[in-house]
């Protein structure tokens, strides 16, 4: 038994980084988990490691028909949907002047439109089981401006707005919608993609003095996914070592 026993979750971008931690933690606490990602080998490996209560599906979150297929396959395999973690995301490091329009649009498509399509896709199945919990992984980059990451910041601001609007729309159906705002978390996105010097600069502004771990974010996902948070909806919870304090 666990905090999410007998619940069924979909975790997008679950092949690595934070998403993989969310999938492992939800499964370790009793849930069945469908992991989706565009990284097939890593995604299948995470599902295989978890075992029978996990399944990997290739899915780009911007693909609306693909969302339908993910929902149908989840229902066929596990019978219901209680939890959606909108975790898939991309980052880009350019200033307002240097950001190509295509980069702004693609970042918005993946981070905001992907989460929006997910909210729409799980609404019916969650309604049919009396409610559910959607967790949008936004960022503290959507709380305060920063130099050189306009596309990402704007998209994460958008996720905060999406969370509040959807929370209002879905509350009568007992579907909760909350946002987690991670600060700097130690993942492949952080290690591989931050421009030289950026990480050190950002780290210096963390009162706690270190990066967060994927497991620390996963523990918060577990709380928001579980019935322990059943009166929390439309909320934004920062997990950033005090960076936005
Ligand atoms: P990772 O890049 O390690 O993991 C993100 C996963 O999402 C990757 O497997 C990635 O695949 C996948 N992905 C990208 N685009 C799509 C798509 N269109 N459809 C489906 N899957 C996709 O990042 P993190 O684990 O660090 O980030 C997870 C979330 O947390 C993101 O939303 C990110 O913005 C957010 N976040 C991260 C912070 C950090 O410090 N790391 C801080 C604040 C928020 P691929 O590698 O092929 O792109």
Give the strand pairing for 32-37 and 236-239.
unpaired
Residue 195 has pLDDT above 90, yes or no: no
- Taking every pair of Cα atoms in the chain, the longest distance, rounded to a whole number of angstroms, is 53
Give the closest residue (by CA) to ligand 1 atom 46.
39
Distance 20 CA to ligand 1 centre (A): 10
Task: Give the position of tokens 């577990």.
Answer: 222
Beta bridge partners of 239: 182
In whole angstroms, give the CA distance from residue 133 to residue 186: 26
Residue 176 has pLDDT above 70, yes or no: yes
23 CB near ligand 1 (under 6 Å): no
17 CB near ligand 1 (under 6 Å): yes
pLDDT tens for 34-81 read 999 999 999 999 999 999 999 999 999 999 999 999 999 999 999 999
240 CB near ligand 1 (under 6 Å): no
Query: Residue 168 has what pLDDT?
Result: 98
Query: Residue 188 has what pLDDT?
Result: 86
142 CB near ligand 1 (under 6 Å): no
Residue 83 has pLDDT above 70, yes or no: yes
Query: Residue 1 has what pLDDT?
Result: 66
Query: Residue 196 has what pLDDT?
Result: 84
The closest-lying atom of ligand 1 relative to the alpha carbon of residue 16 is 9
Average pLDDT of the residues of the chain: 97
Distance 130 CA to ligand 1 centre (A): 30
Query: Residue 14 has what pLDDT?
Result: 98
pLDDT tens for 101-139 read 999 999 999 999 999 999 999 999 999 999 999 999 999
Phi, psi (deg, nearest 5) at residue 53: -85, 15
The closest-lying atom of ligand 1 relative to the alpha carbon of residue 86 is 32
Distance 204 CA to ligand 1 centre (A): 23
Distance 208 CA to ligand 1 centre (A): 23
In whole angstroms, give the CA distance from residue 165 to residue 159: 10
189 CB near ligand 1 (under 6 Å): yes
In whole angstroms, give the CA distance from residue 14 to residue 146: 27
| For the chain, percent of residues with pLDDT exceeding 90 | 92
List, by residue number, the catalytic residues. Answer: 152
Query: Residue 201 has what pLDDT?
Result: 84
87 CB near ligand 1 (under 6 Å): yes
pLDDT tens for 201-228 read 888 989 999 999 999 999 999 999 999 9
Residue ranges of the alpha helices (H) in 79-209? 101-108, 114-128, 150-170, 188-193, 198-203
């Amino acid at each position: 038994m666990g905090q999410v026993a007998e619940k069924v979750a979909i975790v997008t971008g679950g092949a690595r980084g934070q998403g993989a931690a969310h999938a492992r933690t939800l499964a370790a606490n009793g849930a069945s988990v469908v992991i989706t990602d565009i990284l097939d080998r890593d995604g299948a490996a995470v599902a295989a490691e978890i075992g029978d209560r996990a399944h990997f599906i290739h899915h780009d979150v911007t693909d609306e028909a693909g969302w339908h297929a993910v929902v149908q396959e989840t229902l066929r395999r596990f019978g219901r949907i209680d939890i959606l973690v909108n975790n898939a995301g991309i980052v880009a490091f350019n200033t307002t002047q240097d950001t190509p329009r295509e980069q702004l649009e693609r970042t918005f498509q993946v981070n905001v439109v992907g989460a929006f399509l997910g909210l729409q896709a799980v609404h019916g199945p969650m309604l049919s089981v009396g409610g559910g919990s959607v967790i949008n992984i936004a960022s503290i980059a959507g709380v305060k401006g920063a130099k050189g990451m306009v596309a990402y910041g704007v998209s994460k601001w958008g996720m905060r707005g999406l969370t509040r609007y959807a929370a209002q729309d879905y509350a009568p159906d007992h579907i909760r919608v909350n946002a987690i705002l991670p600060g700097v978390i130690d993942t492949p996105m952080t290690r591989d993609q931050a421009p030289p010097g950026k990480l050190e600069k950002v780290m210096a502004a963390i009162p706690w003095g270190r990066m967060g771990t994927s497991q620390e974010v996963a523990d918060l996902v577990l709380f928001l996914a579980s019935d322990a948070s059943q009166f929390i909806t439309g909320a934004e919870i920062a997990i950033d070592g005090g960076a936005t304090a």
